[in-house]
Amino acid sequence: MMYLRRILLGGSAATAAILAAIAVGKNGGDSTLTVPGKTGRWDRNWDRREPLSLVNLSQINGETGEEDLNLLLNKCKSKATRHIFLIRHSQYKLTGKTDADRILTSLGREQAELTGQRLASLGLKYSQIVHSSMTRASETTEIIGKYLPGVKKTSSDLLREGSPIRPDPPVSHWKPDFEYYEDGSRIEAAFRNYIHRAEQKQEEDSYEIIICHANVIRYIVCRALQLPPEAWLRISLNNGSITYLVIRPNGNVSLRMLGDSGFMPPEKISRT
């Protein structure tokens, strides 16, 4: 690795990049389902798709090392922006004993119609709808899908409702730790699978819809903004509401909308 020795001694422009790569390898390169610790600073490699983390440094050698590195980094850069609309399912029958029994109420079906109309009115070219496999989310998706003909729909068990992490401040109803332990790893996996910057091969901006549950959406918002994930329960979301995240090619994330249901008449709004 003569090339690495030369640039470290000579102060090459690539020195900072190499040192950053070493830091990533030591501090942030694991693939376990643990939630990153709170640092108070923005982690640019939060989705592990920062170009430097995608480069195999063992391939960099010889006289053209710095040129090779820059070439590889450019190939690994994201080019497009992802627009992600997170939709909470509509109101459902809480009295159902099983998931199959927890179907949408008549109000819930109206809410889904209104949400579908709202999404269609934005005039965006949606690339896909991914929805939780739970009944209430699947039914909400079918109704919304009527207003977005031709948009591919995919079901995911990762997006099912659950308890992502013990909330802070604590709530009155206690749950054993194993519930957070089981649900949390799955919901964190959903975040890592669906919330990240665009792949390098994506040339154009995309508009995607995820239809799932309040706990999942609240957790995703905290994680995407690098806020304490324990804060998820401090957020309230109405049924059929729209939350809108934007992920830029450089990894920056912004929240354009949180739990918007202003497109519904007041008498159609619910939280249960």
Question: Alpha-carbon distance 204 to 216, whole Å?
Answer: 27
Which domains does the chain carry? 2-76 (no CATH), 82-268 (3.40.50.1240)
Within 13 Å and on the Cβ side, how many CA atoms surround 135?
15
Question: Alpha-carbon distance 140 to 110, whole Å?
Answer: 10
Closest residue by Cα to residue 268 from 117, 99, 91:
91
Ranges in the chain, pLDDT < 50: 1-32
- Predicted confidence at residue 61, as pLDDT, reads 65
For 135-158, what is each residue's pLDDT tens digit?
Answer: 999 999 999 999 999 999 999 999
Question: Alpha-carbon distance 216 to 187, whole Å?
Answer: 7
**DSSP character string of the chain:** -HHHHHHHHHT-TTHHHHHHHHHHHHHT---SSPPPPP-SS--TTTTS-SGGGGS-GGG--STTHHHHHHHHHHHH---S-EEEEEEE---B-TT-SSGGG-PBPHHHHHHHHHHHHHHHHTT--EEEEEEESSHHHHHHHHHHHTTSTT-EEEEEGGGS----S--SSPPSS---HHHHHHHHHHHHHHHHHHSSPPPTT--S-EEEEEEE-HHHHHHHHHHHTT--GGGGGG----TT-EEEEEE-TTS-EEEEEEEE-TTS-GGG----
